[in-house]
Amino acid sequence: MFNDSLETDGIAAKDDKSVMHPIAEYQPEADFSDEARRQKRRDRPLDFEVDIGLVIDANGKPQNVCIIQSAGYGLDANAAKAVQKYQFEPATKDGKPVAYRISVEIRFHLY
C-alpha cells in the first residue's frame, strides 16, 4: 500500500485537513499538435483530454510530471510541457510550505 505522508516521503497527505492546498498562479495553455489537427473532420469537433499527475514542491514548482491518462496524437507531450511551466503558491502546513501531489486535466478542443 502506498503511504503518501510527510513522514514517509516529504509530500503532504491529501486527507490532512491542516494542509492548505496549492493555488495556481500561472497556467499557460497547451498547444494543439499537428498530428491531432490531422484527425479533424469537417462534421465534428475534436475533444481530447490528458490527465497529468505531478508534485508541487515547497517552492511552488511542478516536479515529477507524469501522464495518468493519455490522449495520444502528440498531445500528451504538449500537455506535459505546458504543465512544467505552471507556477503555484505552494501548499502549506502549519504556515510552512510543503510539497503536495495533485493531478490536472488538460482539455484540447478544436472546432
Go through the domains of the chain in sequence order and give each one's CATH number: 6-110 (3.30.2420.10)
CA distance 73 to 21: 32
In this predicted model, what pLDDT tens digit does every residue of 53-96 receive, in sequence order? Answer: 999 999 999 999 999 999 999 999 999 999 999 999 999 999 99
- Smallest CA-to-CA distance from 101 within 53, 50, 51 is with 53
Quickly state the pLDDT bin for 2 (edges 50, 70, 90): very low
CA distance 60 to 48: 27
CA distance 95 to 97: 7
Letter for the amino acid at 28? P
In the numeric block, the cell 469537433 is attached to 45
